[in-house]
């Protein structure tokens, strides 16, 4: 490797280090599905009433629980209660395409923040299949760096040479984490696609990233990546969208 490439590599990392964030990779274990307030992928959600499991307006079936985060147990505690992400996986009719589930605020997706007020209510859902429940039992802290699609927004004047990018991959530094993760920077498959708060128009922030077939047995289009975002102005304003190549 030439000294010039090493110099460019060092300069590139020095720029990106200024924007480094902490991301947290979930450690999981498969468990029997139970109605609980634990952080999890799939399985049964915490429900406040017998009618609390969101229903898709298109197929009239209950939506799949994709993610539940107990905010009291996160490595960076910012609030109390639960964040839940439900997504309709019915394919007949194909609710994902019928209701444009890839756009934030689709009617076939329910993102909500709720309080934990009592023991969960149990109910029998109307759903084709409930995904295997994976309880989140811990978090692995990692450094995360902005995707190149963020550079213009952040005012980063940087074009990464191919040889420099190869070094970044080999040394595992300066890159945006592509896996399921809490916080950090979004890995954009296409362009920068942050949604805005529907009341204040403020750009929302990444809360959780879902990669196709990582902890969920689900693929977003052609190996896409989804982003659960939250408004900095209102913690109850949540959105989920995804994109694929």
The pLDDT tens digits along the chain (245 residues) read 578 899 999 999 999 999 999 999 999 999 999 999 999 999 999 999 999 999 999 999 999 999 999 999 999 877 899 999 999 999 999 999 999 999 999 999 999 999 998 999 999 999 999 999 999 999 999 999 999 999 999 999 998 989 999 999 999 999 999 999 999 999 999 999 999 999 999 999 999 999 999 999 999 999 999 999 999 999 999 999 999 98
Residue among 154, 242, 152 at smallest CA distance from 193: 242
User: Which one-letter DSSP state was computed for residue 196?
Assistant: B
Cβ atoms of residues 237 and 204 within 8 Å: yes
Q: How far is it, in rounded angstroms, from Cα 226 to Cα 16?
A: 24
Q: In this predicted structure, what is the pLDDT of residue 229?
A: 98
Q: In this predicted structure, what is the pLDDT of residue 78?
A: 79
Q: How far is it, in rounded angstroms, from Cα 61 to Cα 47?
A: 16
The neighbouring-strand residues paired with 154 are: none
Q: In this predicted structure, what is the pLDDT of residue 77?
A: 77
Q: How far is it, in rounded angstroms, from Cα 72 to Cα 103?
A: 29
Sheet containing strand 238-243, strands side by side = 109-114, 82-87, 64-70, 40-41, 134-144, 21-30, 181-183, 205-211, 225-230, 238-243
User: pTM for the full model?
Assistant: 0.96
Q: Which helix (H) or strand (E) holds 125?
A: none
Q: How do strand 21-30 and strand 64-70 relate by DSSP bridges?
A: unpaired
Rg of the chain over all Cα atoms, to the nearest angstrom: 19
Q: In this predicted structure, what is the pLDDT of residue 1?
A: 58
CA distance to 65, 86, 89, 187, per residue, from 217 (Å): 12, 14, 11, 19
For 3-243, CATH number? 2.30.320.10
Q: How far is it, in rounded angstroms, from Cα 218 to Cα 131?
A: 9
Q: At residue 228, what are phi and psi to the nearest 5 degrees?
A: -90, 115
Cβ atoms of residues 245 and 222 within 8 Å: yes
Q: Domain extents for the chain?
A: 3-243
Q: In this predicted structure, what is the pLDDT of residue 22?
A: 98
């Amino acid at each position: 490797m030439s000294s010039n490439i090493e110099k460019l590599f060092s300069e590139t990392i020095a720029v990106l280090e200024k924007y480094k964030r902490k991301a947290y990779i979930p450690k999981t274990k498969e468990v029997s599905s139970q109605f609980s307030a634990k952080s999890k992928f799939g399985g049964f959600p915490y429900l406040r009433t017998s009618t609390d499991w969101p229903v898709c307006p298109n197929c009239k079936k209950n939506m799949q629980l994709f993610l539940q985060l107990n905010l009291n147990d996160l490595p960076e505690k910012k609030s109390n209660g639960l964040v839940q992400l439900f997504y309709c996986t019915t394919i007949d009719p194909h609710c994902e395409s019928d209701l444009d589930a890839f756009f934030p605020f689709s009617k076939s997706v329910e993102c909500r923040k709720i309080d934990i007020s009592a023991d969960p209510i149990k109910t029998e859902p109307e759903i084709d299949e409930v995904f295997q429940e994976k309880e989140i039992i811990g978090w692995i802290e990692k450094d995360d760096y902005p995707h190149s699609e963020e550079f213009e927004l952040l005012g980063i004047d940087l074009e990464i040479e191919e040889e420099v990018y190869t070094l970044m991959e080999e040394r595992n530094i300066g890159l945006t984490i592509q896996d399921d993760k809490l916080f950090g920077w979004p890995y954009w498959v296409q362009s920068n696609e942050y949604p805005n708060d529907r009341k204040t128009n403020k750009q929302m922030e990444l809360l959780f990233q879902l990669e196709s077939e990582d902890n969920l047995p689900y693929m977003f289009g052609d190996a896409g990546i989804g982003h659960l975002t939250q408004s900095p102005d209102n913690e109850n304003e949540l959105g989920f969208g995804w994109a694929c190549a």
